[in-house]
Structure 1
């Protein structure tokens, strides 16, 4: 089966990781897959994309993404519209049996109108876009209003909607009051790659020179305010001040872009918070890693910041940490706890959002537990940090690895997508009433062509008949062919005049 993904920007975020995993998984099952996107930088993407393991086609990268940093949703919609029009014009839209669209639903009604009737569409909702946008002023509310209304309408054009967690499903139901009954979403969890990472000597030497033999707890998040990394620092500070146990550090690693102002200001804020807590910090940027492979760090610190940590070193940290501190509240899903569990590390996460579906609390299920779920309270978290140091890690590690393998592997996710595909292909093709209403715009156009441009009636009638056929590339060819014949032999069309 030929499957097309439509994704706005194929970078290195969590949504992109899911799309790449889904594409690779479907390819492994024998499907032909291609990702269509408005942007893909082969130097800033996942390995499967840079090595061309998955086919990628970019349309519309020349279009701007914003105007003076504003109107991002407007330009994102225009870029997706251009991408879809390119698929229609060059006929690729008729080649595919199944479309998977995610993040931005703007193109769904047009995709439904123009794709072949045998094809089906699935929309993967990571989180409602209107819940991610700011509505903190009257002007912003007015600006967002048409996009918020259109989001619900456009998602109704998909044959199926799926979400990444039951938490997101509850937000979806609250946000889209009309859709929750008309188009109830399914849940397909993101996955992690079960391939065991290989750590070269350079990574091991770097870690030895930076950390020595000290134990450490780990926080992995992008350097963004919403990730609430303050909770990790405050919890560690209370643990460090309240224990005589030495040689336990806090490592804060994650995504960081020097061009993103929030990343820079948030890192400075966290560094100041460490100092205010009476602790010492050391910040190590990736460009200095090569120097530390040769010589150990000659700096005393309690908290280590690793902005823009490479994925292989991140995995090594996850495999060696005593505990992962996953601090965001109301996280849509949260892939990092799964990455930690896959590598045998227990997880401490906030007791809401996606982690409640991935982490099994030890206090509720000692035999199957993979960590703890606690309120966002630094006093409670500091106690859990202390408990993690005396934990039977072998049992918790086994539980974590087994849970990831049984519920969150690439194979499981691929099977869930294929089940959705099979269900949709068993159902009849649905043509919506609004599609028929949209055809009415053609009537005044043909009237104008006939009355004011004095085009022959037969020519106008033929054009009208062609445009009322199911939209496809062949429809465009037919219009072009009839127009060429009209200009070559106009007297053929004078029969009814």
Structure 2
């Protein structure tokens, strides 16, 4: 499909924290692709650490402007949502007051900025909703519920003010409808725009090791302990089969985004290390924090497969990256991975139990040629449905249409 020709637009992208993660990867891909379509793209954020970011944000393809980094991320490890709102509101105010008008403004994750951005009369505002924040937040105590009530209300009201709402999967679209019932009742429905992966960065590997790879931020919701427990359970299978494949020394590498500013990152990493000790496999598990893209790609090239452990993940960019790197993926049978992984063809969708994951891992160790075959099918699948080129064409079409006043 040839790239669509369209008039050049000035596009602003607003993102809370331009670090390393699936949401950040999508925003960076969006900026790169929109720039490649001839648009002038500007990213605005409250935090951008050049030592912990995707390389494209420092390459000069588009400028990254930081406003509000002085506003804290939390107050004594509490009020994270309020602080995130304040930081993003400050960014939006700076864009409103200090910059000329944009044709389209793409707001990511935090919807509270939309009313401010709508004050730029000539600009169309597109909101990308990865998942309703009110479902991610804890409502466990009376105080938390009182704290979240106005925030949750504001989220729904401001989300509905966007000219166009995009979500990252059909799973998120259905969750959106069930969560924001007032918006659904008014006929406000999001369009699905799947995230993508740059397939050109991955080459077909010449060989592999009997290494399993987990890639995720060090957050408890990522359920990384499932990978450790499943790896430990491998030892309960037939040892002679493992030995015959020279896989008795199979290993697990746990790598992911790590920010020492975040208490959860620090605590969870220590919890995982302690779990590996208790399971008796600490000598065969390697933990790596915040590696570069090149280092991650090298790890992907060398591994047998990738373990993706979050349950009910909204979409999940890691499975796409793994499949683009010719690797099968073992993931939970829920959420976004159900839409991106073909079970039995490009990987395995399993119940989120150590036994289920371990059985799938054992199957790949027992028949590594099948793992290679699945990896080739995985690469073909990503090329057809989830490449950055396809993503860029679809996003460009949405923005061009909304600029012209079309909703569909």
What is the alpha-carbon distance in structure 1 between the residues aligned to residue 48 and residue 184 of structure 2? 33
Contact 1:160 1:183 in 2 (8 A): no
Q: Which residue of 2 aligns with 1:265?
A: 267
**Normalising to structure 2: TM-score of the pair?**
0.89
Q: Which residue of 1 aligns with 2:281?
A: 280
What is the alpha-carbon distance in structure 2 between the residues aligned to residue 157 and residue 410 of structure 1? 28
What is the alpha-carbon distance in structure 1 between the residues aligned to residue 184 and residue 27 of structure 2? 24
SS class of match (1:34) = strand
Alpha-carbon distance, 1:198 to partner: 7.8
**CA separation of 1:379/1:9 partners in 2, compared to 1, >3 Å: closer, same or farther?**
closer
SS class of match (1:106) = helix
Alpha-carbon distance, 1:304 to partner: 2.4
Contact 2:92 2:113 in 1 (8 A): yes
What is the alpha-carbon distance in structure 1 between the residues aligned to residue 266 and residue 96 of structure 2? 42
The answer to whether residue 117 in structure 2 is matched with residue 111 in structure 1 is yes
**CA separation of 1:45/1:174 partners in 2, compared to 1, >3 Å: closer, same or farther?**
same
**Normalising to structure 1: TM-score of the pair?**
0.74
The answer to whether residue 53 in structure 2 is matched with residue 45 in structure 1 is yes
Alpha-carbon distance, 1:375 to partner: 0.5
SS class of match (2:252) = strand
Structure-to-structure mapping, 1:426-445, within 5 angstroms: 426-427=404-405
Alpha-carbon distance, 1:89 to partner: 2.5
Alpha-carbon distance, 1:91 to partner: 4.5
Structure-to-structure mapping, 1:199-278, within 5 angstroms: 215-244=210-239, 245=242, 246-277=248-279
Q: Which residue of 1 aligns with 2:32?
A: 24
What is the alpha-carbon distance in structure 1 between the residues aligned to residue 70 and residue 188 of structure 2? 35
SS class of match (2:13) = strand
Structure-to-structure mapping, 1:189-208, within 5 angstroms: 189-197=194-202
Gaps of 5+ in 2: 1-8, 243-247
Cα distance per residue 1:135-191 (max 9 Å; x no partner): 111111111111111111101110110101111112111110011243200011111
Contact 1:319 1:340 in 2 (8 A): no
Pick from 102, 120, 125: which aligns with 2:129?
A: 125
**CA separation of 1:418/1:258 partners in 2, compared to 1, >3 Å: closer, same or farther?**
closer
SS class of match (1:134) = coil
Which structure exhibits the higher relative contact order, with contacts defined as CA atoms closer than 8 Å and separated by 6 or more residues? 2
The answer to whether residue 180 in structure 2 is matched with residue 185 in structure 1 is no
SS class of match (2:23) = helix
What is the alpha-carbon distance in structure 1 between the residues aligned to residue 27 and residue 256 of structure 2? 21
| Paired positions, count | 388
Gaps of 5+ in 1: 282-300, 363-368, 430-497
Contact 1:214 1:247 in 2 (8 A): no
SS class of match (1:79) = helix
Contact 2:44 2:67 in 1 (8 A): yes
SS class of match (2:254) = strand
SS class of match (1:140) = helix
SS class of match (2:200) = coil
What is the alpha-carbon distance in structure 1 between the residues aligned to residue 36 and residue 271 of structure 2? 45
Structure-to-structure mapping, 1:101-180, within 5 angstroms: 101-112=107-118, 114-117=119-122, 119-180=123-184
The answer to whether residue 329 in structure 2 is matched with residue 347 in structure 1 is yes
Q: Which residue of 2 aligns with 1:7?
A: 15
SS class of match (2:48) = coil
